[in-house]
Amino acid sequence: MPVSARLGWHDLPSATRDAVERELGSAVRRSLWQTPEFDGGVSARLELERGHRWVFLKAIPAGSPRAGGYRTEAAIARRLPTEAPTPKLLSFVDGEWLVLVFADFDGTRPNLRPGSPDLSAVLATFGALGRTLTPCPLPDVPDALDDLGPLLRGWHELAKERPDDLDEWAVRNLDRLVQLETSWHPWSAGDTLLHNDIQPEYLVRTGPGRVLVTNWRYPARGAGWLDLVALVPYLLDAGHEPADVDRLLRRRPVLTGVPVWAVTAFGVALAGHAERACRLPEPPATTGVRAAQRRLAGAMREWLAYRTHWQ
């Protein structure tokens, strides 16, 4: 099947469609195209003949480099507590195409800009994640430090061979950034199931005050505050000033007892990852990822300069 940016339900192989309908116990009455997650993928809302109910489907070819992530997402989604603010998996088909079907959660990406009414719903959702996913319901996920520790060493790597285009503030403070980059490690332990890959594309506003967290492909066990602070780059990118972000964080119960410097250190680690990753080739089946990381790295440098008072 040729790759197209506009593939829909009827473009899936007939055997795949038949398998989905068997899993759901109903024929599909009609489909509504949705923007796919990745090039060559399919996303659609489906109305079923039986009961005229709607479901949400997403699919990628089994040969896609993203296939492993889809299998992980299916394995995790079927085991998440029903009360967690996450989509409910109805079926998973693993064949020529990998297909995940969820209870319908038609919605939009929440608006994270300053003054948006969606902000309180998003922050409340992070609170709900902590309440419903503590203690960690999945005993076989990795510890957050084991997963993130080796990944979030961007400043260490940049210091080995400093890029000519590295920001002047980062150049002046590179030694301190390297030193602080791992200082959050002692505060990473916890018994909360973390999403571990927070980004706005994975937040869906399904109604007033209701936001779901989707795409559970890299879960880990750790301290609940890590997921919340991982949202900081996107709040800055949405237009929040560093001081406003800090005010939002101070009101979150999950940060009670966490030292300010530990939060800053995790921010340093996130910034270093973005700073290094934005210089790498574009990942397969994506567009604009590196440009977005470059923008996030710049926003995080401003936040870190504000928090550390480093010149």
267-293 burial: b if 16+ Cβ within 10 Å, else e: bbbbbbbbbbbbeeeeeebeeeebebb
Residue 113 lies in a domain: no
Token reading at 95: 């064949």
CATH number at residue 286: 3.90.1200.10
Same domain membership, residue 236 and residue 175: yes
Cα 115 from Cα 213, distance rounded (Å): 21
- Write down the pTM of the prediction: 0.91
pLDDT digits (tens, 9 = 90+) for 233-291: 999 999 999 999 999 999 899 999 999 999 999 999 999 999 999 999 998 767 899 99
Model confidence at 5: pLDDT above 70: no
Query: In whole angstroms, what is the distance from residue 187 CA to residue 173 CA?
Result: 23
Regarding whether 122 and 98 lie in a shared domain, the answer is no
Beta bridge partners of 103: 55
24-64 pLDDT, tens digit each: 999 999 999 998 887 789 999 999 999 889 999 999 999 99
Residue 235 lies in a domain: yes
Q: What is the 8-class DSSP label of residue 153?
A: -
Give the pLDDT confidence score for residue 6 in this predicted structure: 81
Give yes or no for residue 4 having a pLDDT over 50.
no
Q: Are residues 47 and 123 in the same domain?
A: no
Pick the last residue of a domain from 70, 103, 136.
103
- Residue 203 maps to a domain: yes
Q: Are residue 170 and residue 301 in the same domain, yes or no? A: yes
Q: Which domain holds residue 214?
A: 118-308
Residues 32, 149, single domain; the answer is no
Asked if the structure places residue 108 within a domain, the reply is no
Domain annotation covers residue 227:
yes
State how far the Cα of 211 lies from the Cα of 112, in Å rounded to an integer: 12
Residue 127 resides in a domain: yes
**Statement to judge: residues 89 and 130 lie in one domain:** no
Q: Are residues 99 and 125 in the same domain?
A: no
Query: Within this chain, do residues 172 and 221 fall inside the same structural domain, yes or no?
Result: yes
Helix (H), strand (E) at residue 102: strand 97-103
Cis peptide leading into residue 135 (ω within 30°): yes
Find tokens 């000033």 and name the residue.
241
152, 268 in Cβ contact below 8 A?
Answer: no
The reported pLDDT for the residue numbered 3 is 43
In three-state secondary structure terms, 143 is strand
> Would 154 be classed as within a structural domain?
yes
| Tally of domains in the chain | 2
Claim to verify: residue 136 and residue 92 sit in the same structural domain: no
The verdict on 258 and 123 lying in the same domain is yes
Asked whether residue 1 is domain-assigned, the answer is no
Q: Are residues 88 and 166 in the same domain?
A: no
Instruction: Single out the residue in 103, 126, 147 at which a domain terminates.
Output: 103
**CATH number for the domain that contains residue 62:** 3.30.200.20
In 3D, which of 224, 74, 78, 206 has the Cα closest to residue 144?
224
Q: Looking at the structure, do residues 278 and 193 belong to the same domain, yes or no?
A: yes
The mean pLDDT of 175-199, rounded to a whole number, is: 98
Which pair of tokens denotes residue 243? 């001081």
- The pLDDT confidence band at residue 193, using thresholds 50, 70 and 90, is very high
Q: Measure CA 194 to chain center.
A: 10
